[in-house]
Homo-oligomer: A and B are copies of this chain.
Amino acid sequence: MWIPKKFAYMSLSEAHILLREIARGKRSEETVPVFQAYDRVLAEDIISDINIPPFPVSHVDGYAVRSEDTLQASINNPVSLKVIGRIYLDEVYRGEVKSGEAAYISTGCALPNGADAVTPVERVRERGGYIEVLRPLHPRENVIPAGADVKKGEKVFCTGHILRAQDIKLLIDLKKWMVKVFRRPIVALFSVGSELTDRFEEADKKKFDSHSAAISILISEAGGVPMSLGVVPDDTNAIISKLREGIEKADVVVTIGGASIGEKDYVLEATKRIGESKVVIRGIKVQPGRVTSLCILNDKPIVMLPGHFQSTLVGFYAILLPLIRLLSGLEPEEPCLTVRARLTRKIVIREFLSFDRVRFVRLMKVLGNYFAEPILGNSSIASVVTNSDGFIIVPCGRDILEEGEEVNVHLIRGLYPFK
């Protein structure tokens, strides 16, 4: 099959439809202990087998009483009740509160039989084994009914939910010791370029590959397991060998660099020489990053990211991030938090008008309001990204964003610290 080097730029919405197709049937599941399930994506609905609390419990430290005993209580006509016992959290209390009686109860303890309300400790005074109640209590006053927190049979979480700290707590409360989650896709990656090295001994003569380290972090934060395969020179056979290794070991293979139309861009040629290769995306309508491509090789997606770092990041955001999300059980749309901010200065973009254009910005907070400072510089300037926290997407057709205009700043795990 002939592989065209030239581009046929695809919009992101079209690309996402294709990515859904590619991911279909490729997700798999695993069962992990709940204590290791943080930040994983549920692959099952969680239904509670129990009520929380399992029985009516006191909401306060106080005295458990029968509310009917207190119907006539007032300041002038206090109702005197005999304290027959004391209930603490660590003990099972088997006594029953009968008419004319009360039991001291700590917050969170199960109400004793007979009692249906609790008068807070601040409202009464215990003297000589008796309390005096000064006002009527409603049935269930200061009582948390069984199942008030979670009901038996209730669906607590759905498939696709990302487990947060509070969810791990609830799963433990529900005694869900093992949970089914989507397996994190293994993402092999390597950088292409004869000028590059991954060996410290060569770091004086060649450029040490730094893209892989950054993209590995982003893969990991997106939910994948990065597997770095190092660096290969601009040589078709060397690229073929690494691609084969990646296809064998990983769910997704990522190449960085070498996939444009230049004389020494051999990645596309390498893919076609390996086996049944189908180029699915040959360029995207996003700049920087338009070189980003994807082919399917032996049923594995190969994502080709551009070599200039800003472009690499945009390619990651546009194609690799949604693919990893899909493979790990998440939706590809809205892949990150966005924050509304005002531009601190005008942006003029005359190039690639029919593309979405990405511009890196620094997010700043002044008196509780967010501002986005555009950090400009051509795509080979790495410090543009270092000076940024996030980016905005200027939709195709627009060439001017005004100072003070509201924009959505995209904040990606790995690029923004969220601390």
> Is A358 close to B, CB under 8 A?
no
Pair A169/B210 contact, Cβ less than 8 Å:
yes
Contact with B along A108-140 (1 / 0, CB 8 A): 100000000000000000000000000000000
> In whole angstroms, how far apart are the Cα atoms of A144 and B379 in the complex?
11
- In the assembled complex, the CB of A194 is this many whole angstroms from the nearest CB of chain B, namely 3
Q: Evaluate contact between A262 and B365: CB separation under 8 angstroms.
A: no
Q: Are A170 and B368 in contact (CB under 8 A)?
A: no
**In the complex, are the beta carbons of B90 and A417 less than 8 A apart?**
no
A165 contacts B214, C-beta separation under 8 Å: yes
Could you say which of B175, B200, B211, B309 contacts A208, with CB atoms under 8 Å apart?
B175
A383 within 8 A of B: yes
**Which of chain B's residues have a CB closer than 8 A to the CB of A89?**
193-195, 234, 264
Q: In the complex the two chains form, what is the Cα distance from A309 to B365 in whole Å?
A: 31
Question: What copy number does this chain have within its complex?
Answer: 2
- Verify if A78 is at the interface (C-beta below 8 Å from B): no
Complex CA distance for A173 and B196, rounded to whole angstroms: 11
**Set of chain B residues within 8 Å of A106, measured between Cβ atoms:** 262-264
**Beta-carbon contacts under 8 Å, A198-222 to B:** 200, 203, 207-211, 213-215, 217-218, 221-222
Residue of B nearest to A389 (CB): B164
B90 close to A149 (CB less than 8 A)? no
| A414 to B89 Cα, complex, angstroms | 29
Instruction: State the Cβ distance, A313 to closest chain B Cβ, in Å.
Output: 8
Q: How far is the CA of A59 from the CA of B370 in the complex (A)?
A: 34
Chain B residues within 8 Å of A378, by CB: 59, 144
Tell me which of B168, B262, B309, B413 contacts A213 (CB under 8 A). Answer: B168
Expressed in whole angstroms, the minimum distance between the Cβ of A34 and any Cβ of chain B is 8
Residues from chain B with a CB closer than 8 A to the CB of A57 are: 380
Question: How distant is A312 from chain B, measured CB to nearest CB, in Å?
Answer: 9
Within 8 A of B (CB), among A369-419: 369-370, 378, 380-383, 385-386, 388, 408, 411, 413-419
Q: A169-B385, A172-B208, A330-B419 are in contact. List 10 more A-B contacts (CB 8 A).
A: A39-B417, A88-B264, A90-B233, A144-B380, A166-B385, A168-B210, A170-B386, A222-B419, A340-B340, A411-B418
